[in-house]
Amino acid sequence: MTRLRKTMLEELERRNFSQSTTRTYIRTVEDFARYFHRRPDQLGPAHIREYQAYLFTKRKLAANTVIQRLAALRFFFIKTLRKPWSVADTPYPKKTVRLPMILSQEEVAQLINAAETPFHRMLLMTAYATGLRRAELAHLKVSDIDSPRMVIHVQGGKGRKDRDVMLSPKLLEELRAYWRGLRRPPKVWLFPGNRWHTANHPITTKVVWSACREAAERAGITKPVHPHTLRHCFATHLLEAGADLRTIQVLLGHRDLEETTIYLHLSQKHLGETASPLDALSLSPSPANDRPRSKK
């Protein structure tokens, strides 16, 4: 391990950055240095601008991804190298805001029913019932299931924050039925790793991803489906059922309520209850015949 890499890792760990963010930041600096075939501490603002253009034009990365890469370089220059960073010299691109794809409740049921294995079925059911991120789902422990209080404890979520989410009675019933059918029920991790799901470590997030993709294919769902889709469905369907935004914000673990308001744009209930201004206009009846008059 180089001195620079070790120093950057220490700075990231001191600030309690998540493992995924740490990996992304380290890889970004390595890719930055590899692109110019030079040590990263020998590069400056002009190289950052060229690298940013390369990410857009050659790599075709989305604006939000480029913003993350720039945040990694900013951290490296300010916290590791102790050098100044000028936003004017390296402006961040405008963030792209896209509405996520939402499945109907019928489509979610089709997805869960099409799971390839009982293990995948439990993964998909738990993801939809709780709205957890895939890393949070993969790292659930048996001890996180608090059946007396009917909550699930989420430990070390995004931003290293703990929170509780509801424990669905139907999910609890399904989990118990699933455990009764296992030769070796899990003792630590709710979803243990390895082929037989008996390891002393949890599954990877790739397993959650594969479970979603394979079930969507088997169900014949043509919409793009990934683990975060079930999180979006959880929030949107809660909103449509009458839950308030503040409650949904807490359940999702959002820092800012503004992050949660995106689901107002996705809720059929809220869209259906909002009248178009056209409905308030007094218009004359449409002409019976719109054909042009013949010239004499």
Task: State pLDDT tens for residues 221-251.
Answer: 999 999 999 999 999 999 999 999 999 999 9
Active site residue 158: yes
User: How far does Cα 221 stand from its chain's mean position?
Assistant: 20
Is residue 254 among the annotated active site residues?
A: yes
Nearest to 172 by CA among 191, 139, 150: 150
Active-site entry in 197, 226, 254, 270: 254
Q: Is 47 a catalytic residue?
A: no
Residue 133 bears catalytic tag:
yes
Q: How many CB atoms lie within 10 A of CB 139?
A: 21
Under 8 Å between Cβ of 266 and 236: yes
pTM above 0.85, yes or no: no
Choice among 141, 153, 228, 270 that is catalytic: 228
The catalytically annotated residue of 25, 51, 128, 263 is: 263
Q: Which residue of the set 69, 134, 139, 231 is catalytic?
A: 231
Q: Exposed (0-12), middle (13-18) or buried (19+): which is 43, by Cβ within 10 Å?
A: buried
CA distance 127 to 122: 8
What is the average per-residue pLDDT within 85-100?
Answer: 80
The catalytically annotated residue of 69, 120, 121, 133 is 133
Least confident of 88-92, 100-104, 140-144: 88-92
pLDDT of residue 16: 83
What b/e sequence results for 21-39 when a residue is b if at least 16 CB atoms lie within 10 Å of its CB, and e otherwise?
bbebbbebbeebbeeeeee
Q: Judge whether 265 counts as a catalytic residue.
A: no
The catalytically annotated residue of 158, 163, 197, 270 is 158
CA atoms of 62 and 68, how far apart (whole Å): 10
Question: How confident is the model over 77-87, as pLDDT tens digits?
Answer: 999 999 988 87
- Read off the DSSP letter of residue 224: -
Tokens of residue 31, six digits:
């890719």
Q: Cα separation of 13 and 57, whole Å?
A: 33
**Does residue 95 have an active-site annotation?**
no
In angstroms, the first-to-last Cα distance of the chain is 91
